[in-house]
Amino acid sequence: MPGPRPPTITLLPRQRAFLEHLARRATSPQRTVRRAQMLLATAEGATNTQVATRLGLDRETVRIWRLRWQEGAERLGAAVAQADDKTLRTMIEATLSDKPRPGTPATFTPEQLCQLMAVACESPQDADRPVTRWTPRELADEVCKRGIVERISPRTVGRFLKRSGHPTASVPVRAQQ
């Protein structure tokens, strides 16, 4: 027994032209091409199942992108009337792009990392440290002592230094040539 008919998608001529362009453009990411093809097919009146079968996708994927387009339809319709081509293209591509995924926020701010790097550039003797070169452990202790971060492991300090290319005690500095 067939289910309810999905909401219809009506594409304005400029929207259709941009979607067709995205679907044909050789430099478009594959996911953008698929999403544009989905919307073009649904605008022709195809059901989610028909589009999914035609494009080799899951029916739920087609449903999600049909609804996502519906959510932005009013905003995109207004943009067709008011915006230039570049702005409209940007808005359509934004509608077809993935939403940001949730994740854990960064533990350290960019400012804290900059301050950590600044401390790493100082001489350990200036900070009354009994070493000639910073080690990740000494650097971690120093940035905690200065209140730059509440706590940080030596391993994390080592990863930041490695990523920045800053030499540590475990990475020998090349001799001056």
pTM: predicted TM-score of the whole model, two decimal places: 0.58
30/76 same-domain check: yes
**Domain of 68?**
13-96
> Residue 122 falls within a domain, yes or no?
yes
135/86 same-domain check: no
Q: How far apart are CA 22 and CA 92, in angstroms?
A: 10
Structural domain total, the chain: 2
146-to-111, 112, 143, 153, 157 alpha-carbon distances in Å: 14, 11, 5, 15, 15
Question: Can you read off the two tokens belonging to residue 53?
Answer: 């079968």
SS (H, E, C) 20-66: HHHHHCCCCCHHHHHHHHHHHHHHCCCCHHHHHHHHCCCHHHHHHHH
73/120 same-domain check: no
Do the Cβ atoms of 9 and 46 come closer than 8 Å?
no
pLDDT in tens, the chain (177 residues): 566 777 788 898 999 999 999 999 999 899 999 999 999 999 999 999 999 999 999 999 999 999 999 988 888 888 888 878 888 888 999 999 988 888 888 889 999 999 999 999 999 998 888 889 999 999 999 999 999 999 999 999 999 888 877 665 444 445 444
